[in-house]
C-alpha cells in the first residue's frame, strides 16, 4: 500500500493501476479498517466456537445426569465389588472397608486365579449374571459416559475465557468505530451492533450452562469420593468408561467360556451315550450268545434222552424176544407160557416213564419169567 501511495503522490494515474491495486486504494479510504476487520473476524469465528463449546458441555452435562439418575445399577455393582473385596481381604488391614476410589476398579483385573485362566473381574461378571442379571444393563444406561471422556473440561473452560474476552473487546471496538467523528454511517453501523448483542446473549447462555455443569460435577465427584479440582470430568468419566470396557470384555470372555463348557458337556454326554450304547449292544450280544448256548445245551440233553430212550426200547425188545424163544416150551402152571408181565414191562417203557423205573421193571419181569421156566 505504501508503494501505491508513493505512485499516486508522484502524479501517477489511478486508472493505470491494476484492479487489485485499485481495490486496495478503496480499502485504504475506509476509516478504522483494521478495527473493522477485527470485528468481522469475530463475527465469522463466534458461531464456530459456539458449535464446538456448547455440544462439549452438553456431553458432560448428559453424562452427569445419567450418573445421577441411571447410576443405581452401577452403584449396586460397586457394592458387590466392595463386599467381595472385603471377603477376600478378611481381617487384614485392607478388609472391612467402607468404600474405595474409582481408580481401584481398574485394578480388579490384576487379581487372577491360581491357574491364571481367569481374573476377579470374570468372577464378578459371573456372579452378577447368575445372582443379579438385572444389574447388567448398567453399561447401556451409562453409555453417555464414553462420549464425555473425549471432552477436556479445562480446555473448554479456557476457550470460554478467550471467547468472553473477545466478545467484550469486539463490543468496545464497535463502539469506537461508531463514535468516530467526521464520517458517514455505513453498513457496519447497521450490522455490527446487533451482531455483538446477539453474541453476548449466546455467550451468557453458554456461561450459564458451564456454571451449571461445573456445580453438578462438583457434587458428583464428591459423591464418588473424588476431588473436583484435581480430578476433572474427563478423568472421572474415563475411569468409569475404562471399567465399563473391562466389564464388557469380561462378559464376552465369560460367554465364550460358557459356550466352550457347554460344548464340552454335550461332547461328554454324547461320548457317554455312545459308551452306553456299546455296552448295551455288548450285553445284548452276550445275552444272545448265552441264550444260544442254553438252547444248544437243552437240545443236546433232549437228543441224549431221545437216544437213551431209543436204546432202552431196542434192548427191551431184544430181551423180550430172546426170553420167549429160550427153551421153546416155557409154560405156567396151566401149561402155557407166561408172557403177560413181559408185555406190560415193554408197554410201560414205551409210555415215557423214568428210565430207572423201566429198567427195574424189566429186570423184575425177566426174573419172574425165568422162575416160571424153572418151575416147569
- Write the pLDDT tens digit of every residue in 321-330: 654 444 444 4
- The mean pLDDT value for 350-368 works out to 63
* Rounded CA separation 359/370 (Å): 17
Q: Check residue 307 and give its pLDDT.
A: 82
Query: Residue 13: is its pLDDT beyond 70?
Result: no
Q: Check residue 8 and give its pLDDT.
A: 60
Q: Check residue 101 and give its pLDDT.
A: 83
For the stretch 266-289, pLDDT in tens is 999 999 999 999 999 999 999 999
Q: pLDDT averaged over the chain? A: 82
Q: Check residue 111 and give its pLDDT.
A: 85
Measuring CA to CA, which residue among 272, 256, 253, 348 is closest to residue 309? 348
Query: Residue 306: is its pLDDT beyond 80?
Result: yes
Predicted TM-score (pTM) above 0.75: no
Residue matched to cell numbers 424153572: 374
Q: Check residue 203 and give its pLDDT.
A: 95
Q: Check residue 342 and give its pLDDT.
A: 58
For the stretch 97-141, pLDDT in tens is 677 888 889 889 888 888 888 899 999 999 999 999 999 999 999
Query: Residue 246: is its pLDDT beyond 70?
Result: yes
**Beta bridge mates, 119:** 112
* Rounded CA separation 180/174 (Å): 10
Q: Check residue 333 and give its pLDDT.
A: 44
Give burial (CB, 10 Å; 0-12/13-18/19+) of 354.
exposed
* Rounded CA separation 234/148 (Å): 6
- The mean pLDDT value for 183-193 works out to 80
Higher pLDDT, 203 or 358: 203
Q: Check residue 327 and give its pLDDT.
A: 45
Q: What angle do CA 341, 343, 349 make, to 5 degrees?
A: 105
Number of helices (H), then strands (E), belonging to the chain: the values are 12, 0
DSSP of 59-101, one letter per residue? HHHHHHHHHHHS-HHHHHHHHHHHHHHHHHHTTSTTSS-S---
Spatial contact of 31 and 102, defined as CB atoms under 8 Å apart: no
- The mean pLDDT value for 143-172 works out to 94
For the stretch 41-57, pLDDT in tens is 999 999 999 999 999 99
Confidence class for position 35, pLDDT limits 50, 70, 90: confident
DSSP at 260: H
* Rounded CA separation 178/112 (Å): 73
Query: Residue 244: is its pLDDT beyond 90?
Result: yes
Q: Check residue 75 and give its pLDDT.
A: 93
Helix (H, G, I), strand (E, B) or coil at 112: strand
Amino acid at each position: 500500500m505504501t508503494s501505491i501511495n508513493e505512485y499516486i503522490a508522484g502524479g501517477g494515474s489511478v486508472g493505470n493501476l491494476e484492479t487489485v491495486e485499485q481495490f486496495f486504494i478503496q480499502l485504504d479510504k475506509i476509516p478504522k479498517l483494521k478495527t473493522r476487520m477485527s470485528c468481522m473476524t469475530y463475527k465469522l469465528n463466534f458461531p464456530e466456537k459456539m458449535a464446538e463449546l456448547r455440544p462439549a458441555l452438553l456431553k458432560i452435562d448428559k453424562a452427569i445426569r445419567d450418573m445421577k439418575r441411571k447410576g443405581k445399577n452401577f452403584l449396586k455393582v460397586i457394592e458387590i465389588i466392595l463386599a467381595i473385596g472385603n471377603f477376600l481381604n478378611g481381617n487384614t488391614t485392607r478388609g472391612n472397608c467402607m468404600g474405595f476410589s474409582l481408580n481401584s476398579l481398574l485394578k480388579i483385573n490384576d487379581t487372577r486365579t491360581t491357574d491364571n485362566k481367569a481374573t476377579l473381574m470374570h468372577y464378578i461378571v459371573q456372579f452378577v449374571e447368575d445372582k443379579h442379571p438385572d444389574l447388567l444393563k448398567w453399561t447401556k444406561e451409562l453409555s453417555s459416559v464414553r462420549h464425555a471422556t473425549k471432552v477436556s473440561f479445562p480446555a473448554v473452560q479456557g476457550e470460554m475465557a478467550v471467547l468472553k474476552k473477545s466478545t467484550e473487546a469486539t463490543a468496545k471496538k464497535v463502539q469506537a468505530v461508531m463514535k468516530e467523528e467526521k464520517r458517514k454511517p455505513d453498513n457496519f453501523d447497521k450490522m455490527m451492533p446487533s451482531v455483538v448483542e446477539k453474541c453476548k446473549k449466546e455467550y451468557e447462555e453458554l456461561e450459564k450452562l458451564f456454571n451449571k455443569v461445573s456445580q453438578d460435577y462438583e457434587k458428583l465427584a464428591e459423591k464418588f469420593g473424588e476431588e473436583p479440582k484435581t480430578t476433572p470430568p474427563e478423568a472421572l468419566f474415563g475411569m468409569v468408561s475404562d471399567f465399563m470396557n473391562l466389564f464388557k470384555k469380561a462378559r464376552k470372555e465369560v460367554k465364550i467360556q460358557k459356550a466352550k463348557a457347554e460344548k464340552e458337556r454335550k461332547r461328554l454326554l454324547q461320548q457317554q451315550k455312545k459308551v452306553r450304547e456299546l455296552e448295551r449292544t455288548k450285553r445284548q450280544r452276550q445275552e444272545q450268545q448265552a441264550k444260544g448256548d442254553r438252547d444248544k445245551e437243552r437240545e443236546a440233553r433232549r437228543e441224549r434222552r431221545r437216544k437213551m430212550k431209543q436204546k432202552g426200547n431196542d434192548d427191551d425188545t431184544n430181551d423180550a424176544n430172546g426170553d420167549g424163544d429160550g427153551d421153546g416150551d416155557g409154560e405156567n402152571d396151566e401149561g402155557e407160557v407166561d408172557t403177560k408181565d413181559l408185555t406190560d414191562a415193554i408197554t410201560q417203557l414205551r409210555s415215557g416213564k423214568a428210565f430207572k423205573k423201566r429198567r427195574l421193571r424189566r429186570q423184575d419181569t425177566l426174573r419172574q419169567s425165568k422162575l416160571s421156566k424153572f418151575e416147569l
